[in-house]
Structures are given as C-alpha cells and as structure tokens.
Amino acid sequence: MKTDVFITAVSKFLPNAPVSNDDMERYLGLINGKPSRVKRIVLKQNGIRSRYYALDENQRMTHTNAELAFRSITKLFPDEKIPDDIEVLACATGNPDQLLPSHASMVHGLMKNKPMEIYSCAGVCLTCLQALKVSFMSIASGLSKKAICSTSELASPTLLSKNYEEEYEHCARVGEDPYMAFEKDFLRFMLSDGASAVLLSDKKNETGLSFKIEWIEMTSYANELPTCMFMGAELRGDGELKSWKEFESPELINRSVFTVKQDIRLLKPNIIRYWVDHLQQCLQKHEVDSSEIDYVIPHVSSMFFYGKLAEEIETRGIDLGTKKWFTNLTEIGNIASASIFAALDDLAKSGRLKVNDKILLLVPESGRFSYGTVLLEVV
C-alpha cells in the first residue's frame, strides 16, 4: 500500500540584492567593451524586471552552487538547523560546481548531518521534478519517512563577458562578424541564480498547511525532437551534438563551447505544442477535471511563452485560464530548475491558500523537450 506523501515546508534563497535591467552588464560585463545588440529585444520579450546573481560588481562569485542549495535547505527549518531525521537528499541542478564529485555529495558535505542516501539529478529545468519524484517514491514506498528535495542554479559565472571575449577576438582576427550569435547572447539576459527546496514527510504538519502530493508525471520527447538547449557542446550540421571531448583545447575557448546555447528556431514551434500535449495526457490519465484546479504555477522562461502557453490551453478548451496562474518570474528571473519551488514558496506565503485547494505545477525543459506535471492538494 502506498504511503501518503506531504510537502511540509518550502523555501527559497536568492543571493545578494536584486539586479535591475539597467545594471545587468555591470555584473556580467561588456563583450569587448560594447553593450549587447540583443539585450533590449530579449528583455522586452521576456518581461523580467529584476533577477539575482551570486556575483559582485567585480564579477567575483559570492556563493557556489552547493552553497546556494545549502542556504535554501536551512531555510526549511525555523531555526535554520537541519535535524538528524532526514533520510534522503535529492539535489537538482543544471550547473554543478564541478563534473565530479556529484552535486548532491557537495551539498551533503555542507550540511554536516548524519550519513544519508543522496541523489544527483542532472539536466535542465525538469531536474526539479526528477529530484522530487525520487524523494516522493522513497517515502511512498515506505523506505524512508523524511526527505529533502533541493534545487539550485548558478548560471551567472558562465554568462560573464570573459567567457565570450576570446571567441569575439578570434572571429575578428579571421575576418568574421565578431558579434555573438543570438543563440549565445540572448541567454545572457534570461537566466538568474538562486535555490529552492521542499521538505517531504509521511505525515502532514500538525499546525499550518501542508501539500499532499497526489501524483508526479514526466514525459520526454527526445525520441521525436532533436537537441534544442545545450552546454559543453556544439550543434553539428546533421543535428547531433559534438561533445567538448572532441575539441582541441584552444577551440574550447575560441568557440565558447562551455557557454549555454539554445536553438530558437527549434524552440518556438515545439515548446508549447508538446507541453500542452503532455498536460492533456496527464489530466486524462488521472481523470482530473481542469475546472477543479484552483492554482496553476507554470515555469516559463519568459513572459513571451507565458502568453503562448495561455493561448494554446484556451484553444484546446482546457479550463486553466490565467486567472488561476501564479508566477514570480518578472521579479526574481528565470532560475531554471529552482523556479517552480521558488514560486510555490511565494504562493504559500501569499496567504491565499486554503485547505482543499488544488495546485498544478507545470515544468518544461527545452534541452531535448521534456515536461513534467505535479498535482498538489492543500491539506
């Protein structure tokens, strides 16, 4: 028999002070001393007004990714002391501090708790629900009683101008247009740093609200679609990736191989269509009437896709209009895997929720098009 699983605490940690649109390049730097050509266009489309960086104005890191995760984990507890009854730690990130050891190992090392079972989920945005499902299944199966799902992102150090300037200079020397390709430059003004976490238990809170996890569904369409978002690789002419392992050492710098890139031509016609396909399948599988949903938290990378998602949902006759939606994207930016629980944290603190409210969490991933949906009930 499956054990009921509850989220009994939610938290987020945002480093330093919010950074406005006008101040972004003070932190990220100017490529070859020139303002970006695409910044204004990107910011107009994404609607983000402020974001957070784990950087100072001298482009020095103030927190590691593991430290961001640790800070959000401590905020799950009133005294910020992690108790010794945590049995599972599942960590999600798209930007670990190192290739080895695992991100979860580094976070656990900062926690200084007793030995526990740990998991590292690698990928892009959907890693948050992968880590959540690992935690959920451990408790639901009766193998553990308490687990922490941690999500964190440290993108800003990869977005610094110093990571692009060598490619700029190389292109200028060989007579090519030295301006960064849109697929590289536009992401510099999309991403934010931060962390969020949830505490899972086999028992709901004795006082205050909890979230009962009804189900978690995820679907990958990598069998149908090519790679869209990538890092540590280049897109080959045949649509496959050329790994960083195949490059000569100077090429890794000259071609900005370790900067994050996205194929916008592939993103726009596919991201929303497949997302709503997945959503419909989830609602049908679990026989959920969309009119019974009280809140929807969609993780969108920009307000451009917020509008496109709303249009497609309405076109398909699903009763999940934007009056039910909650987002904090414009205030805190796109924290990738950490976004969904950061938004849940703000919704939980808003004072709006009441017992029996039903909440849908919607998470897409454009790496190679994967999607996840979670149904929560406030108890």
Strands 88-93 and 146-153, bridge-based pairing: parallel
pLDDT reported for residue 36: 87
271 assigned to some structural domain: no
Spatial CA neighbour of 170 closest among 236, 250, 241: 250
317 assigned to some structural domain: no
59 assigned to some structural domain: yes
364 assigned to some structural domain: no
Q: How many of the other CB atoms lie within 10 Å of CB of 205?
A: 15
362 assigned to some structural domain: no
72 assigned to some structural domain: yes
d(CA 347, CA 53): 23
How many domains does the chain contain in total?
A: 1
- For 372, phi then psi, to 5°, come to -140, 150
pLDDT reported for residue 34: 85
pLDDT in tens, the chain (379 residues): 689 999 999 999 999 999 999 999 999 999 888 888 889 988 999 999 999 999 999 999 999 999 999 999 999 999 999 999 999 999 999 999 999 999 999 999 999 989 999 999 989 999 999 999 999 999 999 999 999 999 999 999 999 999 887 766 666 565 665 555 566 677 899 999 999 999 999 999 999 999 999 999 999 999 999 999 999 999 998 889 999 999 999 999 888 899 888 888 899 999 999 999 999 999 999 999 999 999 999 999 999 999 999 999 999 999 999 999 999 999 999 999 999 999 999 999 999 999 999 999 999 999 999 999 999 999 9
Identify the helix (H) or strand (E) that includes residue 1. Answer: none
| pTM, full prediction | 0.95
357 assigned to some structural domain: no
Fill in the amino acid letter for 136.
Answer: F
d(CA 365, CA 189): 18
Residues 6 or more apart in contact with residue 93 via CB below 8 angstroms: 65, 69, 103, 120, 121, 122, 127, 151, 152, 153, 154, 337
pLDDT reported for residue 99: 94
Residues 6 or more apart in contact with residue 269 via CB below 8 angstroms: none
| DSSP structural state of residue 150 | E
Spatial CA neighbour of 93 closest among 368, 343, 369, 338: 338
List alpha helices for the chain, DSSP H: 24-28, 39-46, 65-74, 103-111, 127-140, 162-173, 182-185, 249-254, 264-285, 303-315, 329-332, 339-349
pLDDT reported for residue 180: 54
pLDDT reported for residue 130: 98
- What CATH number is associated with residue 150? 3.40.47.10
What's the domain range around 193? 6-163+176-207
Check if the beta carbon of residue 340 is closer than 8 Å to that of residue 333.
Answer: no
Q: CA of 102: how far to CAs of 128, 143, 375, in Å?
A: 16, 23, 29
Location of structure tokens 């006082």: 207
User: What is the DSSP code string of 26-74?
Assistant: HHH--BTTB--SSHHHHHHHH---EE--SB-TTS-BSS-HHHHHHHHHH
d(CA 90, CA 127): 10
50 assigned to some structural domain: yes
d(CA 132, CA 91): 9
